[in-house]
Structures are given as structure tokens and as C-alpha cells.
A and B are shown apart, each in its own frame.
Chain A
Amino acid sequence: MSADFNVAGSTARPATDVAIAIREILAEYLDRPLDDIRFDSHLEHDLALDSFALIELTVVLETRLGFSGDVAADPHDFTLRTVADLVTYVNERLATRRGPHASQP
């Protein structure tokens, strides 16, 4: 079984590029200027992202950035509070892409 779930975005990119890409995708999704999306912006309180929006957004991020989220996880269990948390999460998932495919419980 291939370790790569996605061909798109399969070339490794530096963490800072990922961070910028996430901010840009968020800005586009929320239809807000890039400056509004700061790393310390709170997803719920500053950006008004409810749980549905968070799901929609993470699917968009997966599609554009070529990582796979943790299928079995409950998003409410995530400690994703700020944009910075999101960046950390995406970078972690991008790093696990390069390992053997772990089957999800």
C-alpha cells in the first residue's frame, strides 16, 4: 500500500510555506483579508469557525496541501484553538505521510 495518499502537493515543502499557505486558504475560505488571519487568531472566537466550518476547512486543506487527517479522531478532541495550532497539526500530518501507512483504529 502506498504511503502517499495524494499526488498533489507531494513534494516536501518547508514548514513556513505551509504556514503561509494555510493562512491564504483560511483567508480565501472566510473571504477576509490575509492580515486578519494571524497565527494567534482564535479559530472560534476571532474567525467564527464553528465545527462544521472546521470540518469543511480541514478537507479543503487536505485537498490543497496533500496530507491526510487522522480519520478516527473526533475534532472536538483536537486542541485546535488558534491558527498556529492548525499549522502545527498540518505539519505533523505532512510528516507522518512519509512513514508507513498506519491503519486507523
Chain B
Amino acid sequence: MTGRTVAEREALQRTTEAQREHERRLVAHHYEHSPEIFKMVLGREVLYSTGVFVREDEDLDTAQDRKLDRIAAKLDLKPQQRLLDVGCGWGSILLRAAARGASTLGVTLSAPQREAALARAAERGLSDRVRIDLAHIDDLTIAPESIDAVVFSGSIVHMHNREAVYEKVAAALRPGGRVLVSDCFFPQQARGDRNSKATGYIFVTALGYCRLLSLSEELALMERAGIDILHVEDLTRSYVLTVNHWIDNVRRHRDRIEALAPGFAQILQTYMTIGRLSFHRRTALEYMVLGVKGRPSLNVGAWPIPGPAA
């Protein structure tokens, strides 16, 4: 697979180990900023990914609550089942699952994120069901067929070596285990300039390292790892609306963000404005993908579709 950006082509020249260290250093930096900043910008659940908007005028917390519910429904975890959240952020997906009895493990490259997520777990009395490792997914050794669900919410674009990621996921999942990926993709047929200054600003300046595939490329990697695709939904419009709220929040809290991290509010607003435009024009897309290893317990055919199709 050829690289679409300069950063990607550089990544292709590196060894796996060198790329992992590159990701560990550069990606972590953005997410190591004060959790207080992200609480102000991202809403109550501090989710750094798209919400799910059913109506355009909903507020951010409503959309993020619905997103958490939707992920929980798709992961379909029963009590005592095990969840792995790769790039777990400030922990909301872990907490939601742990509250329903799942045993959860999160990994993140950011120590401040880990600390904040563990503190939230402790506040809710969930410490015995929430473990978080400061690690890159490449570092993880997981017992074969020991995990019931793996989630990547707004994280997989930071992982260049995607094939290895899905192989590891497939080996770790029990038969019937689910994998959920919610993230950004390029359209297969290029729209806009993917190697532009604007793209570089988001992928490198703001976020350290990002690699976007097309949805069909991503699905192919999942399928090649033995994962069946159960469900895909396009959340691009929801991401536009989500980022609108984030930009508003950066504006609202600009002075406080500036005090905590000089210059960061400007980086946030700039990269979010560029990103928002990409989703608005659909030169970048947002999908939530659900896959299963082996026989699914979910009947996605029964999920309601409006009108007579239900």
C-alpha cells in the first residue's frame, strides 16, 4: 500500500520498532495536555471522537451519550466479559462497560489520560474492573482467544501498521468476539489534496502521526485477518456537528486554555476548522465499523430502520 502523504511515506521506510517509537513520542504529545483542557472542549464524557447526532440542533453531551450507548449496544458485552479499549483516552468507554459488569483493559500512550481515567474509575467505585496500561498496542501480549470485544474509538489512525493490529486483534478475540472501529477515512477515489499543508497541519503538527486509509482498504485488512464485517455506518455529518461544538468550546474557554497551555487553543481551533471542512466537503469521511470473529450473537438484521423496512 503506497503512502498518500509525506509522513506516511517516511513511515513506510521505518522498521516496525522505529515507527512504534515515532508514534509513541509524537502522538502522545497532543494527548498529554492537561485533562482540564479536554474536559472544557470535549464535553462531559471527554470523548475525542464523533458523537451521534439524530437532530442537528442537539447538544454535544446528548450526542456523545448516544454514541456511548450505540457502542455499548454493538459491543454487546455480558457481565464478566472482557473488553480491550485501544487508545482509551480519558476512559468513558471503559467506564460504561465496567459499570455493566465487564472486566476492562485500556491502553493509552498518555500518562495524564491514564491518570484521569483511573481517577474517574475510582470515583465510581469501578477500580477493580478498570485497568489501564501505558503502552502501544505493539507492546501488548494478549492470551489467544481471551477477549470478548476490542474497541478503537478515534485511535486507529495513529497506528501505521494496521495489518499487524488486526492480526493481533483477531488472535486475541474469542469466537464470537466483536471489534469496533470508529474513525476517519479517505474516500477511495481521491477528493481534495491529501498531501496538502492543511492535511499536514492536522496529521503531523497537531496530532503527531496519522494515517488514513479508505474504508475498503480497512475492511480488507479486517477480513484478511479473519474478521467478518457485521455493520458499517457513515457518521460524517455527525462529525461536522461534533467539531462545531468543539470549536465553540475552544472559543468559549480560550483564555483558560491559553493559561494552561500557551498556543494550544490556536492549534486546536486551526486543526479542528480544517478537519471540520474536510468532513463537510466529504474529502474525509467518518465511519463506525463493527466486525466479528466467528459466529455473531447479534442479529443486526433486526436493528430498526425507519418506515416499512423495520
Q: Which residues of A contact B (CB under 8 A)?
A: 2, 5-8, 50-52, 55-56, 58-60, 62-63, 68, 71-72, 74-75, 103-105
Contacts and interface: CB of A to CB of B under 8 A. Distances in A.
Contact of B244 (A50, A56, A63, A104): A104
B255 A6 contact: yes
A49 to B, nearest CB: 12
B216 to A, nearest CB: 27
A104 B265 CA distance: 20
A90 B197 CA distance: 25
A51 B283 CA distance: 14
B277 A8 contact: no
Interface stretch (B115-123, B177-185, B245-253): B245-253
Given A59-B273, A62-B251, 13 more contacts: A2-B252, A5-B248, A6-B255, A8-B255, A50-B197, A52-B201, A55-B274, A60-B266, A68-B248, A71-B248, A72-B244, A74-B281, A75-B277
B56 A105 contact: yes
B57 A5 contact: no
Contacts of A51: 198
B254 A63 contact: yes
Contacts of B266: 59-60, 63
A104 B247 CA distance: 11
B51 to A, nearest CB: 15
Q: Which of B197, B254, B255 has the most CB of A within 10 A?
A: B254
Interface residues of B, number: 23
Residue among B56, B196, B265, B277 with max Cβ neighbours from chain A (10 Å): B277
A69 to B, nearest CB: 8
Contact of A52 (B251, B254, B265, B274): B274
B270 A59 contact: yes
A68 B280 CA distance: 19
A73 B222 CA distance: 37
B248 A52 contact: no
Contacts of A104: 244, 248
A6 B270 contact: no
B81 interface: no
A105 B57 contact: yes
Most B CB contacts (10 A, CB to CB) among A8, A58, A63 go to A63
Contacts of A52: 196-198, 201, 274
Given A52-B201, A60-B266, A63-B265, A5 B274 contact: no
B161 interface: no
Contacts of A50: 197
Interface string B183-213: 0000000000000111001000000000000
B214 interface: no
Nearest to A1: B252
Contact of A8 (B198, B254, B280): B254
Contacts of A55: 198, 270, 273-274, 277
Contacts of A58: 273
A50 B198 CA distance: 10
Given A52-B198, A104-B244, A6 B254 contact: yes
Contacts of A75: 277
Contacts of B269: 59, 62-63
A89 B251 CA distance: 17
A71 B274 contact: no
B281 to A, nearest CB: 8
Contacts of B247: 71
Contacts of A59: 266, 269-270, 273
Contacts of B280: 74
18 contacts: A2-B252, A6-B251, A6-B254, A52-B198, A52-B274, A55-B274, A55-B277, A56-B201, A56-B270, A59-B270, A59-B273, A68-B248, A71-B248, A72-B244, A74-B277, A74-B281, A104-B244, A105-B57
